[in-house]
Amino acid sequence: MASLTERALSGLTPTASDAPAYLEGLNPPQKEAVLTTEGPVLMLAGAGTGKTRALTTRLAHLLISGRANPWDLLAVTFTNKAAREMRERVGVLVGDQVEGMRWMGTFHSVAALILRRHAELVGLTPAFTIIDTDDQIRLCKQVISAAGVDEKRWPGRGLAGVLDAWKNRGLRPEEVPKDDAFQFADGRAIDLYTAYQERLRTFNAADFGDLLVHNLTIFRQETDILNAFRRRFRYIMVDEYQDTNIAQYLWLRLLGTDDEGRSGGNICVVGDDDQSIYGWRGAEVENILRFEKDFQGAKVIRLEQNYRSTGAILSAATHIISHNKDRLGKTLWTDADHGAAVTLRGVWDAPEEARVICDEIEAAQVKGRSLSDIAILVRASFQMRAFEERLNTAGLPYKVVGGPRFYEREETRDALAYLRLVRNPDDDLSFSRIINKPRRGFGDKTLTQLSQVARQMGASLSAAGAALLETNELKGKSRSALKEFLDNIARWRSAAADLAPGRLVETVLEESGYIAFWKASKTAQAQGKLENLKELVQAAEEFETLEGYLDHVSLVAERSGDTGEGQVWLMTLHAAKGLEFPVVFLPGWEEDIFPSGRAINDNGQVGLEEERRLAYVGVTRARERCHISFAANRQVYGRWQSSLPSRFIDELPEKEIEVLSEPGLYGVKAAELPAYSRFADIAADPERSYRTPGWQRAQRARGASTAPALEGAARLVASSTPGSSPFALGDRVFHQKFGYGEVTALEGNKVDVAFEKAGQKKVIATFLQSADAAG
């Protein structure tokens, strides 16, 4: 009779009586994934199906069975935390052998090890420095300045974003398509990329993107080196394969083939196409979808038994994701109880949504539920502000994951620094924070001189600046920039007496150039920062005075601490991936917010399917209870508009949903409002529909159609998009900064105006008033 090891090596599954301990507790598909060691393997692992255990057990099996030595294994994942956890789990099973697994880590850490061995082939030495993001942006600024490019229009942060995007695609300067170059610096981006790489070589440095790009260059040009690594890595394992970008995919393709380039190597990738949600940062779901084509003879093993959620929650998630066309397909199931239905609640507006959710959290706490069992998962970070304020009002401690709290974010702190300086010209902390945000041409020398004068005078930086302007000590650009800055602060201070806080915030952010700075940024975070700034304007509109608003912000920040009784988790859906909670609230399920209107506009069907995968991720974070909500009205760009429920609501299975919409919402009873399709019926019945301009537009756009199909929903979204202007062509208008002018063109809420003194400008309609009203 064959020994246990021989049978394991031959791919036979051991019987229950003689299976090694490390296989105990694995379900049949997990065991199959562990024991299928030869050839390409795709472990298609749904949410909560124990994929980490299967992956680490597979690594242990290769070592314990003697099939591989520790140094023969390449195991890569995306984060240092995931790599540490993988190492710890394997160490529990194999003991000291894990110390020999030197090729276990993130893509970048493994690529760095390879590059240090062959750095001279790309013009570096083995002692090269890996620069961080701040150094990368600083170097980009130097390159832009040396090329004579206008940095106000094309900032260093934007160039860094463009270069990252190209490196995520594995492109060297000479490989970038000419059409791509026109997205930055009027077609000069490739030249800037070339100059940037030359400076890096001069400094003997590489950025994170270079690690993989340089590896690709070496592998393609030096086949003997590539083949040596192919022979070294007898087994390759990759976690979260659905999140790989093109450069990572190419790197794995090269290593995962044999010496003749045949795609039959021993590569095992673990992932879930239904959880690919990072397209905005370069991830390509297509990488996992085409695995069977890329690696001929690949075996696909589906892990579908879920150990996390109830049957009702899994049914809801499965129904949503089944509407995606580009997927490999699987159906999650569980042995656990079917559990409580997923709740769906419609409320009148966004503040009411925050109040209702916080009331439910308080009620759960009274019943003995720990706050740390509860998570609020939002689609966009700007939604957090309403929940943070409500949680503070209710005295419920909370923890923001994946970023700072709303009022601690870079962009909100910058904006608040402007407002504090408007309120108090002697606030040196605020002055120092924003004097060069956005960049105004102040060098370190000028700022040092300003600080010295302030100390000598015993005065604030603002006063010292005013004093310097009365002398000839400052020259050129620094002098004019300081004068403009101080004049702006003084003008905004005068305007604060007459402008409402929301309008003042809007004016300061626009006229300071801060909004334009983030609009010009090409980074993935820029749009989120702009949305947070819009939310800041909306928050200020709730107060009568600037002083009242700033005092409120200070008190909100002061109250945010842990009471020792646990904290509610507050985060975006992207930050929640990989986490799980007994109770999950999913607010803001409305068209344009979720799915994101921007994602659909930018990427069409591909963007919509990624948004739907994000909905799937959100629902599957819940173990016991899942609560979905939407608001009938929401304030956007300072104006109230009707919100249409998300199309994802209509994709929920009606038998698994308990509707909790308030009686009377939209003029109907809650029982009549189970899903998005019922809103179509309401819109078609003028006796039952409520009367707002947005809803009237939605009715006209729908026409005679009653089906909530994607095309119909798209028309409804388009019809309710904010931004119609109150002005007409030829109207005379007044702008606080640019003066009087005449409207020459209209585009949504943007207006082209020929100003009498300032010339042609494009401005936001809310910044204008009729010339008659202005006097």
What SS3 string covers 683-711? Answer: HHCCCCCCCCHHHHHHHHHHCCCCCCCHH
In terms of Cα–Cα distance, which of 708, 656, 660 is closest to 682? 708
711 found inside a domain: no
Distance CA 758, CA 771 (A): 16
- Of 456-460, 577-581, 633-637, which has the strongest mean pLDDT? 577-581
Does 83 or 123 have the greater pLDDT score? 123
Distance CA 78, CA 76 (A): 7
pTM: 0.71
457 found inside a domain: yes
The verdict on 94 and 158 lying in the same domain is no
The verdict on 109 and 139 lying in the same domain is no
Does 752 or 726 have the greater pLDDT score? 752
Distance CA 190, CA 173 (A): 6
261 found inside a domain: yes
Distance CA 582, CA 595 (A): 24
The verdict on 97 and 231 lying in the same domain is yes
Residue ending a domain, among 553, 584, 610, is: 553
The verdict on 484 and 540 lying in the same domain is yes
Task: State the SS3 of 526-595.
Answer: HHHHHHHHHHHHHHHCCCCCHHHHHHHHHHHHHHCCCCCCCCEEEEEHHHHCCCCEEEEEECCCECECCC
Q: What is the pLDDT of residues 699-732, one digit of tens each?
A: 343 332 323 322 322 232 233 233 446 788 888 8
The verdict on 288 and 331 lying in the same domain is no
Measuring CA to CA, how many Å separate 574 from each of 370, 402, 577, 648? 24, 9, 6, 17
The verdict on 413 and 392 lying in the same domain is no
| Per-residue pLDDT at 674 exceeds 70 | no
In the block, tokens 């803001």 appear at 588
- Phi then psi for residue 296, to 5 deg, are -60, 140
The verdict on 338 and 380 lying in the same domain is yes
725 found inside a domain: no
The verdict on 371 and 343 lying in the same domain is yes
Q: What is the pLDDT of residues 220-263, one digit of tens each?
A: 999 999 999 999 999 999 999 999 999 999 999 999 886 555 65
Which of 410-424, 613-627, 688-702 bottoms out in mean pLDDT, i.e. has the lowest? 688-702
Q: What is the CATH number of the domain that holds 185?
A: 1.10.10.160
Residue ending a domain, among 553, 576, 600, is: 553
| Per-residue pLDDT at 499 exceeds 90 | no
pLDDT at 264: 63
The verdict on 638 and 663 lying in the same domain is yes
Looking at residue 663, its amino acid is P
**Over residues 127-151, mean pLDDT:** 90
598 found inside a domain: yes
pLDDT at 195: 95
pLDDT at 3: 40
Domain count of the chain? Answer: 5
The verdict on 745 and 758 lying in the same domain is yes
Distance CA 754, CA 741 (A): 5
692 found inside a domain: no
The verdict on 157 and 261 lying in the same domain is no
- 295 touches 280 (CB < 8 A): no
The verdict on 287 and 418 lying in the same domain is no
Residue 79: CB atoms within 10 Å: 12
Q: What is the pLDDT of residues 611-637, one digit of tens each?
A: 999 999 999 999 999 999 999 888 765
Please state the residue numbers annotated as binding site for ATP. 45-52
Looking at residue 8, its amino acid is A
* Active site residue ranges: 51-52, 239-240, 275, 621
683 found inside a domain: no
Q: What is the CATH number of the domain that holds 232?
A: 3.40.50.300
Looking at residue 567, its amino acid is Q
Residue ending a domain, among 164, 184, 203, is: 203
Distance CA 188, CA 322 (A): 44
pLDDT at 73: 93
Beta strands at 235-238 and 398-400: parallel, antiparallel or unpaired: unpaired
Per-residue pLDDT band at 666 (split at 50, 70, 90):
very low
Q: What is the pLDDT of residues 310-326, one digit of tens each?
A: 999 999 999 999 999 98
Distance CA 195, CA 146 (A): 9
Range of the domain at 583: 313-405+560-668
- Phi then psi for residue 538, to 5 deg, are -65, -40
693 found inside a domain: no
Residue 520: CB atoms within 10 Å: 18
Preceding omega of 70 cis (within 30 degrees of 0): no
